[in-house]
Structure formats: structure tokens, C-alpha cells
Amino acid sequence: MKGRYLKASNVIDVIKSPEVQAVLKQKGVFKPSISERTAQHWLAGLGWRYGKMRNGMYVDGHERDDVVEYCRGFVSRWKEYEHRFQKWDNDGIKLL
């Protein structure tokens, strides 16, 4: 794998690896390699998309309506209970 991209050729290399070949052999499967198109199809089936990886903690779906609604509700509940939280500074001293 070069850089931050996963290519179909990386999947092909994994299938060709001795470790995966040993597992396949135990299962009675003789498949020394797969085509690039098959690897692309597998990646698409797993929901992988072509393109540059983005930085950040969120993955596709964080802007869906149900997720946004849940987050708003969570933040609202957090604010209701925040006055009950005990807080400390970086030196371990309890804050009022």
C-alpha cells in the first residue's frame, strides 16, 4: 500500500500472500490470485470509495438526519446535567 490509498492491487497482493493462501488451502480453496476487477468489486461491496482519504474523526453518515437529531438531543441532555458534574483542573484540584 503506497501512501494513504488502498488499491485493488493491494487486495490482490493480500490474496497472493502465503498466509492467506494457507487459510484458503485449509478451506479447500485453490485460488492463487484474483483479477483486478474482482478486487475492485470486493472493495465496492465493502463500501470503499475511490478518492483521497480525509482527515477527521467522522466517517460517512455523520450528516444523516437521524444522526444529527441524535447528536442534538445528546448535547441538550448533556447541558441539563452539566451543572451536576464534578470538575478538576490539570493539577487535580477540584473546581467549584
> Distance (Å, rounded) from C-alpha 51 to C-alpha 43?
13
- The domain locations on the chain are 8-50+61-89
pLDDT tens for 18-70 read 999 999 999 898 889 999 999 989 888 888 876 666 666 656 677 888 989 99
Task: Name the DSSP class of 80.
Answer: H
User: Is residue 4's pLDDT more than 70?
Assistant: no
User: Is residue 11's pLDDT more than 70?
Assistant: yes
* Other beta carbons within 10 Å of 11: 20
* 39 burial type by CB count under 10 A (0-12 exposed, 13-18 middle, 19+ buried): buried
User: Is residue 79's pLDDT more than 70?
Assistant: yes
User: Is residue 75's pLDDT more than 60?
Assistant: yes
